[in-house]
Amino acid sequence: MSELTPAQLKAQKKAAKAAKRAASKEASGQAPTRDPREAKKEQQQAAAKEGGSSSNTGNNSNNTQGGSNQSSASASSKEDRTRASRPALFGHLEKAGKVTAADAGKDVHPEVITLALRYSSYQIVGSSDRARTLLQAFQRVIADYETPEGTTLSRNLTTHLGHQIDFVISARPLSVSMGNAIRWLKQEISVVSIDMSDQAAKDMLVEKIDEYIKEKIDVSGSVIVESAVNDIADGDTVLTFAHSEVVENTFIAAHQAGKRFKIIVVDSRPLHEGRKLARDLSARGIECIYILVSALAHVLDDVSRVFLGAHAMLSNGALLSRVGSALIATAAKRKNIPVIVLCESMKFSDRVQLDSVTLNELAFPEMLANTYISDKKKLPEDKAKTSLKYLNLCYDLTPAANLTKIITELGHLPPSAVPVIMREYKSAYTM
């Protein structure tokens, strides 16, 4: 047997002495006592497991550490409560964030900060509007940009824009149209010649952004409106859901063309986007009926066609749009009512999705919790925290089988033509 080391011999003697003291006290009828140092060590270990620090260490640095641990534990507990308030099945989804100007880094442009705050508060919600305002903010960023020494604009500007994009994403996940616009812009920056002066390059990029907005948003929308007007006839009752800019412009153009028709605007909480559409159309003299989605079954028998806007058209022909669109399309399909989608090609995505669970966006749960019941009182907060789980989805998925056709600036297409169009025009869309 190998000899014990000095440390092992010392520990052995210490244990023998402790056992001898315990035996002596037990023989005299006294309760055995523990080594104060051992008791103190165990106390500190127990406190560390609970996320705090020992209050009797007498060391200022340890006290500071304990406060930090308690703050971390508090933040972790808050996050756990937030997660617990959502159904576990949807815990992986992206969600909007509550950002402030203080959350922005030093490289984030003031124009981008203002825009991100508007996204976060849902003041700008339309997919086309979000893409347009983002590109316009990037114009200001590019105009104020100065290339650091030792690098070139084509290399550094992309990194600088990355800081702006990260802050926008922290406020709210990007839409498909915004993602396509960002990829296009990065491609344009990458091909800027290193021989071009910075000012000339910035002027060129600002001009290209103007061209993109005009071609992909403004002109595309105008072409869709001119084409979609032909699908509205005198005496029609057209149903639409929430609010879409291109759908609203189609109704206005049809009314200006002298067609007599009626609009049923179906709306849902919490955003109630259809209120603005109904208010604007009725102000122009168009006959409107405003209902909530719960009353859909009572009006479908009078509907001749359904017009829907789009957040995105996916590669498998499915429609990703404001939550509730799938319900309306399915109900219309069962009654053989044509469902027509108005969608600019900049909203086409090469993504394939079969349900609304895999990829979606979660809005703030407070938008559902802070609702009023019949006696004008808010839901009790204690019950909201303990017995309710919030699921405030932004979008749902409508299968291609429930859609009649898609009207884009490229013409009237069946949903199955989406991947064909994307292959033919991929270089233009920069997917």
The pLDDT tens digits for 135-173 are: 999 999 999 999 998 889 988 999 999 999 999 999 999
Lowest-confidence segment of 26-35, 224-233, 351-360 by average pLDDT:
26-35
What pLDDT, on a 0 to 100 scale, did the predictor assign at position 41?
A: 53
58/66 Cα distance (integer angstroms): 12
The pLDDT tens digits for 239-274 are: 999 999 999 999 999 999 999 999 999 999 888 999
The pLDDT tens digits for 382-403 are: 544 556 777 888 999 999 999 9
Question: Which domains, and CATH codes, for the chain?
Answer: 101-220 (1.20.120.420), 232-356+393-429 (3.40.50.10470)
Residue the block writes with tokens 């880094």: 105
Cβ neighbours around 55 below 10 Å, total: 11
Measured in degrees and rounded to the nearest 5, phi and psi for residue 362 equal -100, 125
Please name the helix (run of DSSP H) or strand (run of DSSP E) that holds residue 361, with its range, or none. strand 361-362
The pLDDT tens digits for 65-94 are: 444 444 344 444 444 444 556 677 787 887
List strands edge to edge, sheet with 395-398.
Answer: 312-313, 319-322, 395-398
Name the residue among 216, 227, 275, 273 with its Cα closest to residue 249.
Answer: 227
| Cα-trace Rg, the chain | 31
pLDDT band at 278 (very low <50, low <70, confident <90, very high): very high
Lowest-confidence segment of 33-42, 171-180, 321-330, 396-405 by average pLDDT:
33-42
- For the segment 7-33, the average pLDDT, to the nearest whole number, is 65
Spatial neighbors of 140 by CB under 8 A, at least 6 apart, are: 109, 111
DSSP string, 34-49: PPHHHHHHHHHHHHHH
Better pLDDT: 22 or 219: 219
Better pLDDT: 41 or 140: 140
Please name the helix (run of DSSP H) or strand (run of DSSP E) that holds residue 267, with its range, or none. strand 262-267
